[in-house]
Structure 1
């Protein structure tokens, strides 16, 4: 048929060499050979460097800084250096990378997503050529770490219209005043993207605030029940002066900020799939090894029912985000498609980790069995970068030909 797109067909059998047990339809085999090799190198890094330590750091709510150089050696974002000869990877590769990271730990995946997707992504999209050359080489090598400051103490879902942080022009610079909340990486970041409203024009502008800038303080948020490794911070901007050279030259309205979120929202959906993959695989191994009534619990019908429901959620969600990545690579995806993926996959994730905890019974709440960490972290993924309700309204407006249900 003329105009029909033929998708690649997985060449190997189910559970072919290197595939994750949860990859029931072999989505990873849609990647090129070199891309799969890079995924496998990341998988080995996570297995040897992250898995042995992640529970300990999660329990102590501390960040394992020794992992940063490991990420640098993997060279996952070397392509972002303006002088690099590497081409930008496909969105499918980027998505499967997010899945792989979340499959090991959601906090590690969040650190990576904030640094590469939100911070570097903003500079790539909104920075001038000079700004990209000034900051991206060090960021691509993880020498400088980035953070993204949008959410505020009084502004989450309504931050587009209610942004309170202000930017006032003062000679050859700007004075930033206000506060941000839930800003990942901010306690140790070298560069923080701060979105603020120009007091004169009322436009939303983007700035890069460098570590050590006077008037900028970041305080770690304590007592979190989820993503405990992520160092979220409350930020206060009190007469914080930044030079005009640090104003992102192509960030001149909230639409520019929203474009960044549109791109990264699909990454959160991929993280949700990764969490489902991880929870399913833990539950599967447990079902094969745990014995009750003289045999493995995996031999009981109700346990197999739980496993198949979990696998169905993970497989269906992976199919959705895979197709979304293909649309992104073709340059034809829409905002509501990212929103539907984020809403649907995070709901299925919440359901899936609950079933995994159910299968492990009492052991499901002990950190040693990992599922408790997945259940807790899923709650944060479910909410951040846009709640399910907000994503629903975006999709609802699209499917009703523009009938908006947003409260004004």
Structure 2
């Protein structure tokens, strides 16, 4: 990281303490490349696709040539060795600053699915699947959550796996699985009926008995193609079982890594909402003057900026702990729970500044307001993060 902190040309209005200056020049160039891509290619499409509940598949071709996938993985993707966790986090922030659905698409593909194979697969499996995922020629998904269970999936997983010679037979159901309607590789988690331990399987698109159906009627992250999956006697070869996954403890390691990414996405969403509110306050005229001159509007903006700045500082230090290889699950949990809660406040205050216009999709803020509810819940609710941190600081488990 840079030894000195300087204000950089193109700093975000929300980067009040110049956190981006902590990135080395080469890494900041990558961040600015993503910022331009989101502004020029993604932003013009999001409201229409959000309203229709469709994913703009034409964007995948744009993403393929961007080099934005597999940034954090040594030996894969355009950038080798892997970039810092600080850049990886700021990339998630940048994507969510424009649209959290697109950030979630990347988080599922590049975080949950890619890291599951990178962390849980053998070298042969990594070499087989990850190069095509790094170029985004193949898209991944991650199937853990089930229709009858959310945070209790560790002890209550109903999807089963039964060994039958050189194959495994999977039966059960999954829900809320992002990217699953079009993904090429879906990492499915199932309980082995013989030893009762959770194992991971890469189910390839078109496998008989594997049926993903799009979930309709969402009011948040409408661009994300969430699916409910039914698995009926799905036969998967032993070569597609992730060889280094032996229990739910290994799955928890994956969630520990990706949970911090959701915290960064939450930061990006609140930055995007704050920027929209700030611009609107400068332009909206009421009682003969811009509403930015009103004390109560400035109060909302300053409180929002305080939340953003505090959360950014927390996440910068978390990234440093990740880069040092010493960060813990409870640190990731605290970040996700705290930042997503502050995000909810900022988005509500930002929508308030828009008044009646705040419920119109054309002003963007309504999309941010709705999408924040999904980020607040997924990858573990605030209550679950609280119990993880509470156990760490007290030494006593309050889990039921």
TM range (shorter): over 0.9
TM-score (norm 1): 0.96
The residue aligned with 2:80 is 86
Count of residues in correspondence between the two structures: 398
User: Of residues 62, 66, 69 in structure 1, which corresponds to 2:61?
Assistant: 69
> Pairwise mapping of residues 99-118 of structure 1 onto structure 2 (< 5 A)?
99-118=93-112
Separation of aligned partners in 2, 1:294 and 1:71: 45
- 1:14-53 Cα distance to aligned partner (Å, 9 max, x none): xx31211111111111001010001111111111101111
Checking the alignment, whether the CA contact within 8 Å between 2:75 and 2:82 is kept in structure 1 is no
- 1:289-311 Cα distance to aligned partner (Å, 9 max, x none): 00011110001111111100111
Separation of aligned partners in 2, 1:43 and 1:232: 25
Q: What displacement does 1:8 show?
A: 3.9
Checking the alignment, whether the CA contact within 8 Å between 1:98 and 1:274 is kept in structure 2 is yes
Checking the alignment, whether the CA contact within 8 Å between 2:211 and 2:230 is kept in structure 1 is yes
Q: RMSD across aligned C-alpha pairs, in angstroms?
A: 1.3
**Aligned pair 1:98/2:92, yes or no?**
yes
Checking the alignment, whether the CA contact within 8 Å between 1:81 and 1:136 is kept in structure 2 is no
Checking the alignment, whether the CA contact within 8 Å between 2:6 and 2:21 is kept in structure 1 is yes
Indicate the SS of the match to 1:189: coil
Gapped runs of 5+ residues in structure 2? none
Checking the alignment, whether the CA contact within 8 Å between 1:81 and 1:133 is kept in structure 2 is no
**Aligned pair 1:183/2:177, yes or no?**
yes
Separation of aligned partners in 2, 1:59 and 1:48: 20
> Pairwise mapping of residues 17-36 of structure 1 onto structure 2 (< 5 A)?
17-36=9-28
Separation of aligned partners in 2, 1:78 and 1:206: 20
Checking the alignment, whether the CA contact within 8 Å between 1:82 and 1:133 is kept in structure 2 is no
The residue aligned with 1:158 is 152
Checking the alignment, whether the CA contact within 8 Å between 2:142 and 2:177 is kept in structure 1 is yes
- 1:116-155 Cα distance to aligned partner (Å, 9 max, x none): 0000010000000000010001100111000000000111
> Pairwise mapping of residues 158-307 of structure 1 onto structure 2 (< 5 A)?
158-307=152-301
User: Of residues 309, 328, 344 in structure 1, which corresponds to 2:338?
Assistant: 344
The residue aligned with 1:43 is 35
Q: What displacement does 1:68 show?
A: 0.8
Checking the alignment, whether the CA contact within 8 Å between 1:82 and 1:137 is kept in structure 2 is no
Indicate the SS of the match to 1:11: coil
Structure 1 runs (4+) greater than 3 angstroms displaced: 6-9, 78-85
Indicate the SS of the match to 2:245: coil
TM-score (norm 2): 0.98
Separation of aligned partners in 2, 1:297 and 1:155: 46
Q: What displacement does 1:89 show?
A: 1.0
Checking the alignment, whether the CA contact within 8 Å between 1:163 and 1:197 is kept in structure 2 is yes
User: Of residues 311, 324, 332 in structure 2, which corresponds to 1:330?
Assistant: 324
Checking the alignment, whether the CA contact within 8 Å between 1:179 and 1:234 is kept in structure 2 is yes
User: Of residues 383, 396, 399 in structure 2, which corresponds to 1:403?
Assistant: 396
Separation of aligned partners in 2, 1:76 and 1:280: 25
Separation of aligned partners in 1, 2:276 and 2:5: 25
Q: What displacement does 1:7 show?
A: 8.1
The residue aligned with 2:127 is 133
Separation of aligned partners in 2, 1:366 and 1:340: 33
Q: What displacement does 1:77 show?
A: 2.8
Q: What displacement does 1:74 show?
A: 1.1
Separation of aligned partners in 1, 2:330 and 2:3: 26
Tell me: CA distance 1:8–1:164, structure 2 relative to 1, closer, same or farther (3 Å).
farther
The residue aligned with 1:3 is none
Indicate the SS of the match to 1:51: helix
Checking the alignment, whether the CA contact within 8 Å between 2:274 and 2:305 is kept in structure 1 is yes
